[in-house]
Every structure is written in C-alpha cells, then in structure tokens.
Amino acid sequence: MLSRFLPRFLMTFCICLFIVIMQFLWRYIDELVGKGLSIDVIAELFFYAALSMVPLALPLSILLAALMTFGDLGEHIELTALKSSGISLTTIMKPLAILMAVVAIGAFFFQNNVLPQSQVKMWTLLFSMRQTSPTLDIPEGAVYSQIPGYNIFVKKNDKEHDKLYGLLIYDVSNGTMSPRIVAADSGRLSMTEDKRHLVLTLFKGSWYEEMKNGAGVNGMGNNLYRRETFHDKEILIPYDANFTRMDDETMRSQYVGKNITELRQTIDSVRLRVDSAATLVLTRLRSQPVCGVPSERYVHKDGKSTTVPVPEVKTDKKLDLDKLFKESSAIEQQQILSNAISQTTTAMQDLQFQGYNINDDNYIIRRHQIEMMKKFTLSLACLIFFFIGAPLGAIIRKGGFGMPIVISVLLFIVYYIIDNMGYKLARDGRWEVWQGMWLSSAVLLPLGVFLTRKAVNDSAVFNPDVWINFLRRFTGLHQTRKLEAKEVIINEVVPDVALERIEALKASCQQFLDRYPGRQAYLAYWQEGYDKPTIKALAEEADSVVDYLSNSRDQMILNKAMDYPIIRQLLTYQPVGNKTLGSIMAALFPIGLPLWLIGLRHQKNLKRDISQTIKTSDQLVAIFNGEYSREMEYK
C-alpha cells in the first residue's frame, strides 16, 4: 500500500503546489513585471511562496492520492480480492493511516517552525518589490506617469537610436501649485551609474514655469512666471531603480512570523493591556463628580498625600432636581445645560477613543488566535481528507485522473468555502475564534466517519441502481421487464402449474380492483389510502409468476411475460398510516391538496398496471391453451 500510495501522493502534491503557486503568480503579477528584478530574487520569492502554500496544497493532494489509490484498487478488482482473502478494509488502510498520522505531526511542526520564517521572507520580498521603481519603457502616443512627479508624453520612441521625439513634460515635483511644462523637439533618457538618478537630455525646446505670487500695485498680487528657450538642456531626476531589501524585523513582529510560544506571549500581553484599559475607563467613570460632589478627595498627612473616598451625602428630604432647575434663572439654566453638554461630550469622546483602542487590541488578539489555531487545523484536515478519500475511492472504484480529480476538486471547494467563511466570521469577531477556525473540520469530520463506515460495511451508498430505484419510488417512473431465453433450464415450466399460478394472480388483481373501484376522496386518501401490504403482496406474486415463466423454452411465452408491468411500491399510495395524523395533514389544505392530486395520479397508474396484469394473464392463458390470436392485443 505504501508503494502504491507514496508515488501518487508525491505526484499530486507537486501538481497541487504548482497550481497554487500559479494562482499566487497571477495575483501578484502586476507587482513583479517591469521592475527589472533579477532571476535569483524572483526564484527566492517563489521558493518562499511555495513553502507558504504547503498548507493549501497538502490536504488536497492527500485527498486526491487516496482517491486514486483506492479507486485504482477497486477498478482492477484487487480490493475485492483482498477482502475475499479475509483482509478487511481497515487492515488495508492501516499502514496509510499510520503514514497520515506521521504527516499530520510533521505538518504541525512545519506550521509552527518553518512556515513563520518562510512567510516573513516572502512578505518582506514582496513588499520590497512593491517599492522598487519600474523599468523605463516610455510608450508612444501615451502619457507615461511611472516617474514620480513627472508626466511625459512622447510622440515617437526610436529605440534603435535611443532617442525620443516630440516630448512634452509636465513637472509637478515641487507641488501642483508650482508646475513646470517643458516641450522639446527631441531628447534622450539615460541613467546614472549608481542607478539613483535619471538624466533627461533635451534638444531645441522651451521651458515654462509658474512662480510664486508677487506684490503688485495697490497691494494686488500678480502671478509671476518664467519662460526659457534652450538649444540643449539636461534635467537630473531622482529615480532609484535599485532593488532594496527591507528588514525582516518588520514582518517578524507580525502574527504571520510567530510560533505558538510567541503567539501566546503576544496574546497575553495584549489581553493584559485590554484589561488595564477597561479598568482605567471604569476608574475614570467612578471618579467623576456627581452633581459637583467628587467621589474621592486628597488628604495630606505626614508629608504624604493619599486619596480617600468621600462619604455619601445624605439629605433629610428627597431632592427634587427638576424643581431646583426650574427655580433657577434663565442664565443659570443655560449655564447648567452648557456645562452638562460639555462634560457629556468630553466623556463620550474619551470613551470612544478608549473603545477604538480596545477594539484594535481585540482585533490583534483574534488574528494571533487564528494563526495559532491554523497550526492545529492543518494536521486534522490531513487526517480528515484521508478518511474521506480512501473510503470514497473504495466505494466509487474509479482510478486514474478523471473521476478522482472531479470529486477532489468539488470536496476541496466545499472545504475552502466553509473554512474561509469561518475564518472571516472569527476575524471580524462575530464568532468565537475556535468556532470559526474549527468549522470546516466539524463539517467534514462526520462525512469522513460516514464514508469510512459505509466502505467498511460494503454499503452501496453510491450504487446508481439504488438511487434510481429510490427516485422511481418517489416520482413514480415506469420500469420494464427484460427476459432472455436460458441456455440451461433446471426447472421446466409445467403448463398446469403455470395456468394455476396465472389464474391466482389474476384473481388477486381483480380482488384489488373490486376493493378500490373508484377514485378516493380527499379525506379518505389521507386517512386510509391504498393498503400497502396488499400492493406489496401483488407485486411479489407477479414477480414470482414472471420468474417461473422465465424458465420456459417458448419464446412467445417469454415475450408475453415481459408485458407484465412492474407493480411499484410508491410512497404516495398511502402517505400516512395513522388516521389522526392523516386528518391533520388533510387539515393543512395548501399542502394536502397538491399531494392528494399527485397521489390520485399514482393510484390511477397503479390500477392501470393491475388491469394490464389481468389482460396479460388472459393472453398467457390463451397461449397455453392454444387459443391465442393477434386480435386479443387490441381488446
């Protein structure tokens, strides 16, 4: 099993890792192209990106490899041979389950030790590339704005002779209030040796520049400007084209660059800060004066000052604040309201500021908790996907790349959607962090247990015939019989026995039609319906007659026996077996009426099948007695 699984696992892991790296490339392609980056820098970025994408590729590769391995065993009957020799599916899966346990443990240590360092390196490189200036490639007939502070328009770019024609430069490097406009017939753009400045050499042009306002007559300001005509001119533009790597410490202090120990330390420190901030807010609220009476006062004794609580102010009579306010003068009332509004606004703004700080700290705590949970969820996801893929491959019995890839992609999309939804709910604080991060595992774990149990018990959970029969029972689809002449017949058909069984079937069918002559009323349908045991007995009796006639050597009898309809066991014949519950369903008129109409249609089809059974029985009796004619088909 290991020799079969490991090559597929390594192959699928490389394929999945390549796919997610391509997705990473398409996401950040705009930040990499046109920067003049060297091959070794890009290769380093892709190496760290590949390490960072392992948690995304590993579960999918395990699912796909397990599906392919067990599907291939089932497709080539090897799984059946192993089971027939007394080896159970759990024994077959045991070495791979041990391997997955080792992979899960390795995934945990990878998430805790390797992934933080790789993510620090990857994001540091990516942010460094974002700040790198793009290479100069000025297009023709368009405004080029990649040089900070300059917009350049070129009518023609002669790359062969390295010259630009029809230049128009809009210089706002000194601010938009002091723009400079330069027009030149031709020019040349080059770079200094240290790649920190651009040298723009212009020929035959003019320079227009707006100056600061000056004081004119009567104190009125006049706009000053400078205009210059030149034969050749050089402009030095600051432009750093070198790749400068940022310091790793910036990203190392973020949650992506920490292991479990560092994450816990950060969570504890930030949580202590949140608690102290909440305590400070509570202390401030309690220390606020009430009606001008402070809650604490300073006491100086022996050269020391301490705070002691102010005794509660007690009055002999109940204090009516509204009466005191109304008895005050208008100026005093206005002053009281102004002071109250001012104090309330100040307190509210202070509380809002403290609330913003606490919310930011809580967000930091959640992000660190999410990163800590991720180090465990990957290991469990590897085990869950193995116990989904292995039994699923044993059930569907399809190897190769076709069906396993389709199923793997669908399952992984479901996992990714659920996991991403839980992550966002935990990040935004709508759910607890552990609820959001373990949501995908909680959803897929029962599926793995269910599929493993079905595969061990050889249940036909994916047998199409089982689902087709269920749909036929539910929807009332028709079925046809197929009989073929047997080369070897052990039990010959005796005409007298066949006639006796056919007549008995005919009598049972006629008895059923006499029992239910007309269409059932609405209330009778819900309270009684058709007797299901009787219908089941009729179906079994008809199948028994057909099985007996299938041993006939007469092709005409075989053809006529196939005309026996299959008496179906539909749920709508008797939807409710209890009269009380049937009365309740009948009272639910909006629901009961359409179901009654569907049930009447199915009951009508049942009577038609039973009548066809009686007609076929008469024709078989005529065939056995030698009295059959083609005219009997149209009666």
Give the pLDDT score at 26: 82
Q: What percent of the chain has pLDDT over 70?
A: 83
Amino acid (1-letter code) at residue 418: I
Q: pLDDT digits over 233-281, tens only? A: 888 877 665 556 666 777 777 878 888 888 888 888 888 888 777 777 7
Q: In which band, very low, low, confident or very high, does the pLDDT at 92 lie, cut at 50, 70 and 90? A: confident
Q: For residue 305, report the phi and psi dihedrals to the nearest 5 degrees.
A: -115, 130
Comparing C-alpha atoms, which of 414, 417, 438 is closest to residue 426? 438
Judge whether residue 628 has pLDDT over 50. Answer: yes
Which helix (H) or strand (E) element contains residue 378? helix 330-396
For the residues 279-295, what does the mean pLDDT come to? 69
Give the pLDDT score at 237: 77
Give the angle 592-594-598 at the CA atoms, nearest 5°: 110
Q: 399: exposed, middle or buried (C-beta count within 10 Å: 0-12, 13-18, 19+)?
A: buried
For the residues 320-343, what does the mean pLDDT come to? 83
Q: In which band, very low, low, confident or very high, does the pLDDT at 559 lie, cut at 50, 70 and 90? A: confident
**pLDDT, the chain, mean:** 80
How far apart, in whole angstroms, are the C-alpha atoms of residue 563 and residue 224? 106
Q: pLDDT digits over 301-313, tens only? A: 776 767 777 777 6
Q: For residue 588, report the phi and psi dihedrals to the nearest 5 degrees.
A: -80, 75
Task: Quote the pTM value.
Answer: 0.58
- The C-alpha torsion from 355 through 253 and 241 to 133, rounded to 10°, is -40
How far apart, in whole angstroms, are the C-alpha atoms of residue 106 and residue 232? 67
Give the angle 21-49-432 at the CA atoms, nearest 5°: 95
How many residues in the chain? 635
**49 vs 316, more confident:** 49
Q: 64: exposed, middle or buried (C-beta count within 10 Å: 0-12, 13-18, 19+)?
A: buried
> How does DSSP assign 34-59, residue by residue?
TS---HHHHHHHHHHHHHHTHHHHHH
Q: pLDDT digits over 93-121, tens only? A: 888 889 989 999 998 998 888 888 888 88
Are residues 388 and 118 in contact, defined by beta-carbon separation less than 8 angstroms?
no
Instruction: Give how far Cα 433 sits from Cα of 110, 380, 442, Å.
Output: 22, 17, 14
For the residues 503-507, what does the mean pLDDT come to? 90
Domain ranges of the chain: 2-131+368-456, 143-238, 469-634
Give the pLDDT score at 373: 87
How far apart, in whole angstroms, are the C-alpha atoms of residue 424 and residue 409? 22
How far apart, in whole angstroms, are the C-alpha atoms of residue 373 and residue 422? 12
Task: Identify the three-state secondary structure at position 431.
Answer: coil
Comparing C-alpha atoms, which of 573, 578, 613 is closest to residue 595? 573
